[in-house]
Protein backbone atom coordinates (compact mmCIF):
# COMPACT_ATOMS: atom_id res chain seq x y z
CA UNK A 1 0.00 0.00 0.00
CA UNK A 2 1.99 2.99 -1.22
CA UNK A 3 0.45 6.02 0.41
CA UNK A 4 0.71 8.70 -2.29
CA UNK A 5 -2.70 10.16 -1.48
CA UNK A 6 -4.22 11.06 1.84
CA UNK A 7 -5.52 8.19 3.96
CA UNK A 8 -7.45 8.43 7.22
CA UNK A 9 -6.41 5.92 9.87
CA UNK A 10 -8.76 4.78 12.62
CA UNK A 11 -6.72 4.18 15.77
CA UNK A 12 -7.78 1.29 18.00
CA UNK A 13 -6.45 -1.47 20.23
CA UNK A 14 -9.33 -3.80 19.30
CA UNK A 15 -9.40 -5.10 15.73
CA UNK A 16 -12.96 -6.36 16.09
CA UNK A 17 -13.98 -2.67 15.92
CA UNK A 18 -12.86 -2.43 12.28
CA UNK A 19 -16.37 -3.04 11.02
CA UNK A 20 -17.59 0.09 12.80
CA UNK A 21 -15.20 2.40 10.92
CA UNK A 22 -15.04 0.68 7.56
CA UNK A 23 -17.29 3.35 6.05
CA UNK A 24 -15.04 6.27 7.03
CA UNK A 25 -11.48 4.96 7.44
CA UNK A 26 -8.95 3.94 4.80
CA UNK A 27 -6.70 2.01 7.15
CA UNK A 28 -6.53 0.85 10.78
CA UNK A 29 -3.75 1.89 13.12
CA UNK A 30 -3.52 -1.06 15.50
CA UNK A 31 -2.03 0.05 18.81
CA UNK A 32 -0.43 -3.21 19.83
CA UNK A 33 1.04 -1.69 22.97
CA UNK A 34 -2.48 -1.03 24.28
CA UNK A 35 -4.02 -4.25 23.00
CA UNK A 36 -4.84 -7.51 24.70
CA UNK A 37 -3.16 -10.44 22.91
CA UNK A 38 -2.23 -8.39 19.81
CA UNK A 39 -0.80 -11.27 17.77
CA UNK A 40 -3.90 -13.36 18.45
CA UNK A 41 -6.02 -10.44 17.30
CA UNK A 42 -4.02 -10.28 14.08
CA UNK A 43 -4.37 -14.03 13.56
CA UNK A 44 -8.15 -13.74 13.89
CA UNK A 45 -8.50 -10.55 11.87
CA UNK A 46 -10.94 -10.85 8.99
CA UNK A 47 -11.58 -7.18 8.32
CA UNK A 48 -11.39 -5.44 4.97
CA UNK A 49 -9.14 -2.51 5.91
CA UNK A 50 -5.35 -2.82 5.85
CA UNK A 51 -3.40 -2.24 9.05
CA UNK A 52 -0.65 0.01 10.36
CA UNK A 53 1.00 -1.88 13.22
CA UNK A 54 2.25 0.34 16.05
CA UNK A 55 3.90 -0.97 19.22
CA UNK A 56 4.86 2.23 21.00
CA UNK A 57 7.33 2.01 23.86
CA UNK A 58 6.91 3.76 27.19
CA UNK A 59 9.75 6.13 26.34
CA UNK A 60 7.76 7.33 23.32
CA UNK A 61 4.35 7.81 24.93
CA UNK A 62 3.11 4.23 24.59
CA UNK A 63 2.66 1.33 26.97
CA UNK A 64 4.98 -1.38 25.64
CA UNK A 65 8.05 -2.44 27.59
CA UNK A 66 11.29 -2.47 25.63
CA UNK A 67 11.86 -6.20 26.12
CA UNK A 68 10.35 -7.99 23.13
CA UNK A 69 8.69 -4.86 21.75
CA UNK A 70 10.38 -4.91 18.35
CA UNK A 71 10.16 -8.69 18.09
CA UNK A 72 6.40 -8.46 18.56
CA UNK A 73 6.15 -5.71 15.96
CA UNK A 74 8.28 -7.76 13.57
CA UNK A 75 5.96 -10.75 14.05
CA UNK A 76 3.01 -8.49 13.25
CA UNK A 77 4.66 -7.32 10.03
CA UNK A 78 4.46 -10.86 8.66
CA UNK A 79 0.65 -10.82 8.55
CA UNK A 80 -0.81 -10.11 5.13
CA UNK A 81 -3.22 -7.52 6.53
CA UNK A 82 -0.34 -5.45 7.93
CA UNK A 83 0.82 -3.15 5.16
CA UNK A 84 2.65 -0.55 7.24
CA UNK A 85 4.56 -0.44 10.52
CA UNK A 86 5.37 2.58 12.67
CA UNK A 87 8.91 2.77 14.04
CA UNK A 88 10.24 5.66 16.10
CA UNK A 89 13.06 7.77 14.68
CA UNK A 90 15.13 7.09 17.79
CA UNK A 91 14.66 3.34 17.30
CA UNK A 92 15.59 3.49 13.61
CA UNK A 93 18.77 5.42 14.39
CA UNK A 94 19.80 3.21 17.27
CA UNK A 95 19.07 -0.31 16.01
CA UNK A 96 20.85 -1.38 12.81
CA UNK A 97 18.89 -4.56 12.11
CA UNK A 98 15.41 -3.07 12.31
CA UNK A 99 14.79 -1.53 8.90
CA UNK A 100 16.33 -4.25 6.67
CA UNK A 101 14.51 -6.99 8.58
CA UNK A 102 11.13 -5.26 8.33
CA UNK A 103 11.57 -4.47 4.64
CA UNK A 104 11.99 -8.17 3.95
CA UNK A 105 8.35 -8.57 5.01
CA UNK A 106 7.23 -6.18 2.25
CA UNK A 107 5.75 -3.53 4.52
CA UNK A 108 6.05 0.21 4.23
CA UNK A 109 7.77 1.90 7.13
CA UNK A 110 6.50 5.01 8.88
CA UNK A 111 9.29 6.67 10.82
CA UNK A 112 7.73 8.77 13.57
CA UNK A 113 8.85 11.51 15.91
CA UNK A 114 6.84 12.92 18.82
CA UNK A 115 7.46 16.02 20.93
CA UNK A 116 4.85 16.09 23.69
CA UNK A 117 5.65 19.50 25.19
CA UNK A 118 6.52 21.88 22.37
CA UNK A 119 6.92 22.55 18.66
CA UNK A 120 10.47 23.28 17.44
CA UNK A 121 11.34 26.21 15.19
CA UNK A 122 10.62 25.77 11.49
CA UNK A 123 14.11 24.78 10.38
CA UNK A 124 14.43 22.21 13.16
CA UNK A 125 10.99 20.85 12.34
CA UNK A 126 11.89 20.44 8.67
CA UNK A 127 15.17 18.78 9.66
CA UNK A 128 13.24 16.25 11.76
CA UNK A 129 10.98 15.47 8.80
CA UNK A 130 14.08 14.99 6.66
CA UNK A 131 15.66 12.63 9.17
CA UNK A 132 12.49 10.55 9.34
CA UNK A 133 12.26 10.47 5.53
CA UNK A 134 15.87 9.30 5.34
CA UNK A 135 14.98 6.10 7.17
CA UNK A 136 11.37 5.46 6.20
CA UNK A 137 8.82 5.59 3.43
CA UNK A 138 6.67 8.13 5.27
CA UNK A 139 7.93 10.70 7.77
CA UNK A 140 5.43 11.26 10.57
CA UNK A 141 6.03 14.15 12.97
CA UNK A 142 3.68 15.07 15.82
CA UNK A 143 4.46 17.99 18.11
CA UNK A 144 2.55 19.77 20.84
CA UNK A 145 1.13 23.17 19.90
CA UNK A 146 1.17 25.74 22.68
CA UNK A 147 -0.26 28.45 20.43
CA UNK A 148 -1.47 29.04 16.90
CA UNK A 149 1.99 29.98 15.67
CA UNK A 150 3.12 26.46 16.58
CA UNK A 151 0.30 25.03 14.46
CA UNK A 152 1.23 27.28 11.54
CA UNK A 153 4.84 26.11 11.70
CA UNK A 154 3.71 22.50 11.46
CA UNK A 155 1.56 23.26 8.41
CA UNK A 156 4.44 25.21 6.86
CA UNK A 157 6.81 22.29 7.46
CA UNK A 158 4.35 19.84 5.91
CA UNK A 159 3.94 22.14 2.92
CA UNK A 160 7.68 22.65 2.40
CA UNK A 161 8.75 19.03 2.86
CA UNK A 162 6.00 17.84 0.54
CA UNK A 163 7.29 20.25 -2.10
CA UNK A 164 10.75 18.80 -1.54
CA UNK A 165 9.43 15.39 -2.56
CA UNK A 166 8.98 13.77 0.84
CA UNK A 167 5.96 11.74 1.84
CA UNK A 168 5.00 13.16 5.21
CA UNK A 169 2.34 13.19 7.89
CA UNK A 170 2.27 16.19 10.20
CA UNK A 171 0.16 16.69 13.31
CA UNK A 172 -0.06 19.40 15.95
CA UNK A 173 -1.16 17.79 19.19
CA UNK A 174 -3.25 19.53 21.84
CA UNK A 175 -6.47 21.47 21.66
CA UNK A 176 -4.81 24.47 19.98
CA UNK A 177 -3.49 22.25 17.20
CA UNK A 178 -6.60 20.14 16.75
CA UNK A 179 -7.64 21.88 13.53
CA UNK A 180 -4.41 20.82 11.82
CA UNK A 181 -5.81 17.29 11.72
CA UNK A 182 -8.48 18.62 9.36
CA UNK A 183 -6.45 20.91 7.13
CA UNK A 184 -3.05 19.18 6.98
CA UNK A 185 -4.09 17.04 3.97
CA UNK A 186 -4.54 20.23 1.96
CA UNK A 187 -0.83 20.92 2.37
CA UNK A 188 0.42 17.44 1.56
CA UNK A 189 0.02 15.33 4.69
CA UNK A 190 -0.45 11.72 3.60
CA UNK A 191 -1.90 10.26 6.80
CA UNK A 192 -4.42 11.43 9.37
CA UNK A 193 -5.26 9.66 12.62
CA UNK A 194 -8.45 9.54 14.65
CA UNK A 195 -9.72 7.35 17.49
CA UNK A 196 -13.01 5.55 17.62
CA UNK A 197 -15.67 7.51 19.48
CA UNK A 198 -15.49 5.07 22.38
CA UNK A 199 -11.69 5.40 22.58
CA UNK A 200 -11.17 9.15 22.17
CA UNK A 201 -9.81 9.67 25.70
CA UNK A 202 -7.22 6.92 25.25
CA UNK A 203 -5.04 8.62 22.69
CA UNK A 204 -3.27 11.87 21.87
CA UNK A 205 -4.55 15.25 23.12
CA UNK A 206 -6.63 17.13 20.57
CA UNK A 207 -7.62 14.11 18.52
CA UNK A 208 -11.01 14.26 16.81
CA UNK A 209 -13.19 11.11 16.76
CA UNK A 210 -13.05 9.25 13.46
CA UNK A 211 -16.56 9.90 12.14
CA UNK A 212 -16.39 13.58 13.03
CA UNK A 213 -12.96 14.05 11.46
CA UNK A 214 -13.98 12.21 8.31
CA UNK A 215 -17.03 14.45 7.97
CA UNK A 216 -14.97 17.61 8.45
CA UNK A 217 -12.43 16.54 5.84
CA UNK A 218 -15.19 15.62 3.40
CA UNK A 219 -16.74 19.06 3.90
CA UNK A 220 -13.44 20.69 2.95
CA UNK A 221 -13.17 18.50 -0.11
CA UNK A 222 -16.64 19.52 -1.23
CA UNK A 223 -15.88 23.21 -0.79
CA UNK A 224 -13.51 23.27 -3.74
CA UNK A 225 -13.32 20.50 -6.31
CA UNK A 226 -9.67 21.27 -6.93
CA UNK A 227 -8.92 20.20 -3.36
CA UNK A 228 -10.92 17.00 -3.51
CA UNK A 229 -7.98 14.77 -4.36
CA UNK A 230 -5.55 16.39 -1.90
CA UNK A 231 -2.88 16.31 -4.61
CA UNK A 232 -1.76 19.92 -4.35
CA UNK A 233 -0.58 22.23 -1.64
CA UNK A 234 -1.21 25.90 -1.11
CA UNK A 235 0.84 28.50 -2.93
CA UNK A 236 -0.18 31.12 -0.41
CA UNK A 237 0.58 29.65 3.01
CA UNK A 238 2.04 32.38 5.20
CA UNK A 239 5.64 32.11 6.27
CA UNK A 240 5.97 31.63 10.02
Which residues participate in the annotated binding site for 3-dehydroquinate?
29-31, 56, 181, 207
Per-residue CA distances from 135 to 84, 88, 216 (Å): 14, 10, 32
Contact partners, residue 195, CB within 8 Å, separation at least 6: 10, 11, 12, 202, 203, 207, 209, 210
> Per residue in 206-226, is it b (16+ CB within 10 Å) or e — as a string?
bbbbbbebbebbeeebeeeee
CA distance 8 to 29: 10
Residue 114 annotated to the active site = yes
Per the residue annotation, which of 34, 126, 140, 190 is the catalytic one? 140
Per the residue annotation, which of 34, 114, 126, 190 is the catalytic one? 114
3-state DSSP helix/strand/coil percent for the chain, to nearest 5? 40, 20, 40
Residue 20 annotated to the active site = no
Angle at 151 between CA 148 and CA 153, to 5 degrees: 115
Active site residues: 114, 140
Amino acid sequence: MRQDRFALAATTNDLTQEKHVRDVADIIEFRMDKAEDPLTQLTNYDGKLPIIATNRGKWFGGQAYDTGRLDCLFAASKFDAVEMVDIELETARGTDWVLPEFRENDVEIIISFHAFEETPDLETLKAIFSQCARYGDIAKVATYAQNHSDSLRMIQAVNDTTRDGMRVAGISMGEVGSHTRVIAPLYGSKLGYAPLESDENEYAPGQIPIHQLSSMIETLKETDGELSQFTGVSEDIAQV
